[in-house]
Structure 1
Amino acid sequence: MLNETTKKLVDEITKNFAASKESISSSFGELLSLLIDKLQLSQDKKFVFLLLGKTGVGKSSTVNSLLSKEIANVGKYDATTMQVQEYEHEMNGIKCLIIDTPGLCDDIPEKANNQKYIELIQNQVKQIDLLWFVTRLDDSRVGEDEKKGIQIISEAFTPKVWEHSVIVFTRANKADDYLEELQERTKRIRDEIAKHTGHEIANKIPSVAVDNKSQTTPDGKRWLEELYTQVFIRMSERGAIPFLMATATRINKTQSNKDKREPNWTFYNNYEFETGDKEDVTSEFNVNDFVFTGIQKELIKKKIIELIPVLAVAGASVGAVVGGPIGSAIGGVVGAAVGSIFYFFS
Structure 2
Amino acid sequence: MRKFLLFGRTGVGKSSFVNTTFSDYIADTSEFEACTKFVEHYAYDSPLGNVCLIDTPGLAEEDEACDEAYLSLIRSKVDLDQIYATIYVTRLDETRFRPDEKRTLRLLTSRLGASIWNRSILVLTFAASVPVGQRQEAISRRITHIEEFLQTLTVENKLVPQFRKFHDYWLVDNIVSDWTSEGVSALSLLTA
TM-score bracket for the superposition, by shorter chain length: 0.7 to 0.9
| Inter-partner Cα distance in structure 2 for 1:84 and 1:129 | 21
Q: 1:214 is matched with which residue? A: 177
The answer on 1:120 being equivalent to 2:73 is: yes
Determine what percentage of the aligned residue pairs are the same residue.
Answer: 30
Aligned-residue CA RMSD in angstroms? 3.1
Match of 1:191 among 148, 156, 179: 148
Residues 1:84 and 1:147: Cα distance change in structure 2 (over 3 Å): farther
- Count of residues paired in the alignment: 181
Q: 2:39 is matched with which residue? A: 85
Letter in 1 for 2:184: L
| Inter-partner Cα distance in structure 1 for 2:46 and 2:166 | 31
Of residues 132-141 and 203-212 in structure 1, the stretch that sits farther from structure 2 once superposed is 203-212
Deviation at 1:150, TM superposition (A): 1.5
| Inter-partner Cα distance in structure 2 for 1:197 and 1:130 | 19
Deviation at 1:175, TM superposition (A): 1.3
The answer on 1:178 being equivalent to 2:132 is: no
Residues 1:90 and 1:78: Cα distance change in structure 2 (over 3 Å): same
* Structure 1 unaligned spans of 5+: 1-45, 233-243, 245-299, 301-346
Deviation at 1:77, TM superposition (A): 7.8
SS where residue 53 of structure 2 aligns?
strand
Which has the bigger relative contact order, CA under 8 A and spacing at least 6?
A: 2
SS where residue 143 of structure 2 aligns?
helix
The answer on 1:105 being equivalent to 2:68 is: no
1:276-315 counterparts in 2 under 5 A?
300=192
Letter in 1 for 2:177: S
Q: List, as ranges, runs of 4+ consecutive aligned residues in structure 1 with deviation greater than 4 Å.
A: 76-80, 93-96, 112-117
Q: TM-score, normalised by structure 2?
A: 0.75
Q: TM-score, normalised by structure 1?
A: 0.45
The answer on 1:166 being equivalent to 2:166 is: no
SS where residue 169 of structure 1 aligns?
strand
Q: 2:158 is matched with which residue? A: none
| Inter-partner Cα distance in structure 2 for 1:171 and 1:122 | 28
